[in-house]
Each structure stands twice: as structure tokens, then as C-alpha cells.
Amino acid sequence: MDLRLTPAEAAFRDRLRSWLDATLPTLPPKPDRDDWPARRAYDTAWQRLLFDAGYAGVDWPSGHGGLGASPTEQLIFLEETAKARAPYVGANFVGLLHAGPTLIVEGTEEQRAAHLKGILRGDEVWCQGFSEPDAGSDLASLRTVAVREGEEYVINGRKVWTSHAEVADYCELLVRTDPDAPRHKGITWLILPMDAPGVTVRPLRTAVGSSEFSELILDDVRVPVANRVGAENDGWRVAMVTFSFERGTAFISDVVESRNLLAETVATARATPAPGGGTLWDDGALRRDVGVLAAEVSGLWSLIRKNVSEASAGMIPVQGASVFKLKFTENRQRIGDLAAHVLGRASLAMSGPGGHVVEDRVNTLAFTIAAGTSQIQKNILAERVLGLPKEPRWT
């Protein structure tokens, strides 16, 4: 793909910048991070603004309600919104970046008609019901079962770390539909309405005190067979499609944020007096670390270009997705460590001018675990990409 801007793409950037300049000052203050009804209202209102302006689903096909933009235009959109510090997708994260793209690839026409426009308009908020208390990152060990009775599945089990469950309308749910099949063969991907009888949501607290995750308890929940995405017992393959979007394209704004955090760290170092005179920026080792991290961020951005190009061409960025997820999360944690080093004693508290940097660093501790641990990514690359022998399984 050619990322030199054409006149049309340069005009797209100019229009977007003008729209952001005019729109962002009109937004109300962001609500408290634990006021989830208010956060849903804020995030969905922003999504509706994007939809009305023609910027919702920039990378989605125009036939499914998206803008059908080129890969370059999608990158322009993500870069400009991040630079302008526009609201993040927030509560719309799972719907826009996981469920919607998965339905486009794997859903039926009825499922696409029922959900895609609602996701793009901000009318539907989705959560993700993949992880379980006893499975950890070993997704194939999931125990939540669904037994088919006529034209319904009856679901029982528990999910954990369910993002935005408190305010979600639907959940992308993985269930075991054949307990006798090999672990990866008896799983099915279902659309779960969150208001179905038998669904209980219990909020959880994260390390920084926020509550974007919940525990999900499913007690004789009935879901129509028509809500199944893909074939029965083929959910593992469908889930890999979902993960490919999550790992390959869902962290793009975070890379721009990594650039911002690194630049902020440099500015802090330049302004902080060193014990022996001068500033912290006079430390050659610090400048070397900044240079290495900046080069890695640049490399990650190139990998994003490749992943976005593949996704926009209807391909699933499996290889680049795992490489990106593995390297991005490690890079972000090291940037957080460097920022903490520059902050010194101020890195011990989330209050004060550097509090947001401290909170960001704590949050990055989860990055190498969420969406498949780094160990899982290494196994994927070794076994599926490089064709190395499978890791020994201990039972």
C-alpha cells in the first residue's frame, strides 16, 4: 500500500481537522470514571456525532454502513482523533472493534441487519464474555455450557473480566456446546442479549480502582439458535477472527498515545533538575532509552499500516496481529517504567500533576495479560506462523 497522501486523502485530513476543531469544544465534561450510566451516555453521544458527520466505521465497508475509506484514510482518522485528544470509543469498544467486524465476516444477513447500524450509531453497546474464572488465558478450557433445546440454547456458567457489562445491550459469548469434543472443537459463538432472564452482572475493581470489568453469572439463560454466529461447535475459529481484529487493529489509538506519553516524558526530563546540575535530559542513558523506545513505536506504526491494509482488503491480520499485540504491550510497559523513573518520588502516587502517567503505568500491567497473554502470543507465532512443534500439554 502507498501511504503518500493523494489530493483526496489530504482533503480528507483537512475536513476532519476542521470538524474536530469545531466539534470538540462543544462537548460536555467527561463524567466520573465509575459513573457508568453517564459514561455510556457520553460515549454513545460521541459515537452519534461521528455517525451524523460521516466518520463512524471509517474502515467498515460502505455496504454495511461504514465509510468504506481507504487504509490511508483510516490511519488519518485514527491519528488525527488521537492527536486532538478526541474521546476514545469507550463503552463502544467491543461493538465497534470486535463484534461488528466479526459479524461482517461471519454473521448472517439477518444478524448484520439487526446490529451493525445500531453499533455504528451508538445505539448498541456490547461486552465480551470470553474469559472465565477457572480458565485464565487458556480460553479452550472454558466451562460455560449451552444445551440446545429445540430452537434455543440454555446457558449456564460464569464469565469474568467482562468489559462494560454494566451498561451493555449485547454480549459476544463463547459457550461449550459439545463437552465430549476436543477442547477447541466443541465451542460456539453466540449473541447474548444482556436483558435476558438469568443474566446477573457483578462489577469488579481494577488495580487503579475503576470498574470497567464485571463478573457475569448465567443461570438457565435462553438464547435463540438464530443468535449463533458461525456453525455450532465452530466458535473457536470465529473467536480467532474476533481476536485477530482485537490484536491487530484495536490498539491503534494506543500507539498514538504511546507517542504522546514518550514526548511528555522527554518534556518532563528536560524540565527536571538533575542532582549534579543540569537536567535529567543530560543523562545519555536516558536519551538512549528514549531513542530505542521511539524507534520501536515507529516500527509498530509500520506494522499497523500492514494490519490495517490487510483488514481493509478483507483479510484477517493473524500474523501481524499477534506480533503487534506482543511487541506493543511490552513497549508500552517499558515507556511506563521510563516515565516512572523520570517522575521519581512522584511516581508513588496517582495524585498530583503526574498522576495520569502513574495511573497509565498501572493500567499497562494488564496489557500483557488482556486479549491473550504474551505467552499465548508467542505460542501462536511459534506453532501457527513458524510451524514449530507444539508446546507439551500437561494434563
Report, as residue numbers or ranges, the catalytic residues.
246
Cβ-contact 165, 200 below 8 angstroms:
no
| Nearest Cα to Cα of residue 222 among 254, 256, 251, 190 | 190
